[in-house]
Chains A and B, each alone.
Chain A
């Protein structure tokens, strides 16, 4: 069962095609990664899913029905990349206000605030103004405000930027818990190591088009280069590695990284070393990281490496037009 199905979605601006015929579905309860370099159309896509923009063409199904922003936004929690809070407002009042705008009654909202503030141990902040909090503390408040109305769909755009490792871990744990309890999560980022750690499925977009989508495990299989890393007890000599089954890619202390020749199997490699009496301590297939898949895919499309591949979490200014 899919919570979201996106069918041939288009959104064109005067100067460029932000979203150009994109389709994918998000299974209920999954953690779904939306990946792409800056300006790929991620934000536009998310804004259409949250009902901020209307698509030019195409369809969004929410729970099997056409998406209706009027009612369905109450089932969505959206934490945009460019996030913020009313600086002069008190933390508790702000959380209450945002929850009420999501359709919660005042009493329910207060109960939830108590629950989450206890859980995150921030009860003492209730009467503090947002501007008195550090940036990381504000992020926590923001995250709580986003999930307070127990949304079916939680959309997090770069949720870890600006968080210290402890708080990032706290939120990561919360994401897993929510997912376990059935919340579907869309996770937009260009921090690829987080994607591998957190996401079940991903979709990769660039220049408004979908490059690929699927399960993370499957994608890694699909893009594997048949590389293996073999560890040795004693380094084999030159004669012992001469074979047509593989070629050596990289040599390390007591280890080789080899590429399997087409037509050969994994066992051919092991067999070869065993026959040469080389003591093997480890044998491991090297799967491509999502980062490598990402760079390779985006590069093959544009002819140059994507700027988003560099791992920094600065928030570059973007324009939706």
Chain B
């Protein structure tokens, strides 16, 4: 026990002391923070003004170009497009919108001239404005009162409640949380699994393995490495959680309400809804996010993170012990292990869309895929979407599963770690499992 502790300590300390640990631990949240902050900053700072000249040969839309946020229209009369399309810049316009003689039923030929690409928001504003105008003309032609039509339009939202207690939930939020958790588990399995494999390979190739094995049991050496790396992963995870929490506490101090409003505005521009509707939607999301059972999600996440890691890392360790000097061996040998993980992520993607279907059910029960697939289902609600018995079955099978893979990998590892100069296949390695020491 003392020895395995020494091994865990060494694995943990050598990894945490590495510069790459610090870099990854700090860069990953920085990356995510940048993904959130940069769009806000862009939305805040891109208050560039555009003055657009309008030449309307159809004479239908005179003075029906009210100024839009940041975009100012100037309706020019008695100006020829042929001459002005080369001169608008001299008059201080950023662009020229030209509307030819229009057949209201089949409008075509509306053109926007500018030096630079007008940008997505200007494009969508122009398109919307022209479409609105043509719609109005058509309504007028059909003798429909525009105001009446607007009043008749419905815009309600349905409240979705799931489970016996009528948990309030939103499929979109559950989808997002489920997808993200499943995907993070996938990355953890791959990243830390490979890390275990590389560690074992290093011990084998540098020939330290035999020196070690003369002091400790192979199983202690393998488990020490697996647990040590798990501790590194948990530490990293805890640092990230701490960072996220502190950023959430600090962020509001830096980003003023102005910027948040600007971001809302940005979204509004893109999606074309009215501002009020957008604000309402954001409020709704905030409400729903609050209603997700975070305790269940986070505790299950830690369980499936550790369970899945233990399940697969032992197998990765076994592969590492089979590899000889030739690193290309590793690719062929890891394939049978990465395959179920990749199948798992595909099942996860389909399950997150249909969390109660048979694919989702079986995927979340079988230990090969359950860490990813179950995490995709849990945000939809426990026990609403995932009954307690399914969760219990999945968790017990995962525990049985990792005990089994660890036992099996230990057998392979013990033989493989001391075997040099020979290419070993999985078929051979599996024979060792049934052999005694």
A146 to B210, CA, bound (A): 12
CB <8 Å contact, A85 and B208: yes
A84, A85, A102, A317 interface centre (most CB from chain B within 10 Å): A84
Query: Which of A78, A317, A321 is within 8 Å of B214, CB to CB?
Result: A78
Listed stretches A48-56, A217-225, A271-279; interface member:
A48-56
- Chain A binder among B182-190, B360-368, B415-423: B415-423
Question: How far, in angstroms, from A89 to B202 measured CA to CA in the complex?
Answer: 12
Please give me the residue from chain B that is nearest to A146 by CB atom.
B211
Interface residue A87 (Cβ < 8 Å from any Cβ of B): yes
**How would residues 1 to 45 of chain B score, 1 for a CB under 8 Å from any chain A CB and 0 otherwise?**
001001100100010000000000000000000000000000000
Q: What residues of A have a CB within 8 angstroms of the CB of B7 in the complex?
A: 101
CB 8 Å contact bits of B209-239 with A (1 = contact, 0 = none): 1111111100000000000000000000000
* Least Cβ–Cβ distance between B251 and chain A, in angstroms: 38
Known A-B contacts A73-B215, A97-B10; the reply to A84 vs B208 at CB < 8 A is yes
What is the 8 Å Cβ interface bit string for chain A, positions 70-85, against chain B (1 contact, 0 not)? 0001001011101111
Check B14–A78 contact: CB distance below 8 A. no
Q: In the docked arrangement, what's the CA distance between A52 and B213, Å?
A: 6
| B274 in the interface (beta carbon within 8 A) | no
Give the contacting residue for B206; candidates A47, A86, A320; CB below 8 A: A86
> Who on chain A is nearest to B218 by CB?
A52
Partner of A97, one of B6, B203, B421, B436: B6
How distant is B421 from chain A, measured CB to nearest CB, in Å? 3
Q: Which residues of B contact A142 (CB under 8 A)?
A: 211
A238 in contact (CB, < 8 A): no
Q: Which residues of A contact B3 (CB under 8 A)?
A: 101
Q: What residue in chain A is nearest B208 (Cβ atoms)?
A: A84
Question: Are B211's CB and A78's CB within 8 A?
Answer: yes
Complex interface: chain B residues within 8 A of A84 (CB): 206-211
Residues on A with C-beta less than 8 A from B212 are: 101
Q: Is the CB of B210 within 8 A of A82?
A: yes
Closest chain B residue to A85, Cβ basis? B208
- Segment 87-146 of B: residues with Cβ below 8 Å from A: none
Say whether A80 contacts B6, CB under 8 Å: no
Docked CA distance A145–B203 (Å): 17
Q: How far is the CA of A84 from the CA of B203 in the complex (A)?
A: 8
Q: Does A89 lie within 8 Å of B214, measured CB to CB?
A: no
Q: Does A83 contact B211, Cβ atoms closer than 8 Å?
A: yes
On chain B, the number of residues with a Cβ less than 8 Å from chain A's Cβ atoms is 26
- Chain A min CB distance to B188 (Å): 24
What is the 8 Å Cβ interface bit string for chain A, positions 59-101, against chain B (1 contact, 0 not)? 0000000000000010010111011111111000000011011
Are the CB atoms of B420 and A317 closer together than 8 Å? yes
Instruction: Decide if B437 is an interface residue (CB 8 Å cutoff).
Output: yes
Find out whether the CB atom of A98 lies under 8 angstroms from the CB atom of B211: yes
Write out the residue numbers on chain B whose beta carbons fall within 8 Å of the beta carbon of A319. Answer: 419-422
Residues of chain B lying within 8 A (CB to CB) of residue A53:
437
Q: Quick one: which of A83, A87, A88, A101 contacts B216, CB cutoff 8 A?
A: A101
Q: Which residue of B lies closest to A53 (CB)?
A: B437
**Which of B206, B214, B420 is the one whose CB lies under 8 Å from A50?**
B214
Closest to B420 in A: A317
User: Digit string of A84-128 for contact with B (CB within 8 Å is 1, else 0)?
Assistant: 111111000000011011100000000000000000000000000
Are B419's CB and A320's CB within 8 A?
yes
Q: Is the CB of B14 within 8 A of A88?
A: yes
CA distance A240 to B421 in the complex (A): 60
Contacts of A87 in B (CB 8 A): 202, 206
Known contacts A54-B437, A80-B214, A101-B212; A321/B206 CB under 8 A: no
Could you tell me if B210 and A52 are in contact, using CB atoms closer than 8 angstroms?
yes
Instruction: Pull 17 A–B residue pairs with CB atoms less than 8 Å apart, ordered by A.
Output: A47-B418, A80-B214, A82-B210, A83-B211, A84-B206, A84-B209, A84-B210, A86-B208, A87-B202, A88-B14, A89-B14, A97-B10, A98-B211, A145-B211, A319-B422, A320-B420, A321-B415
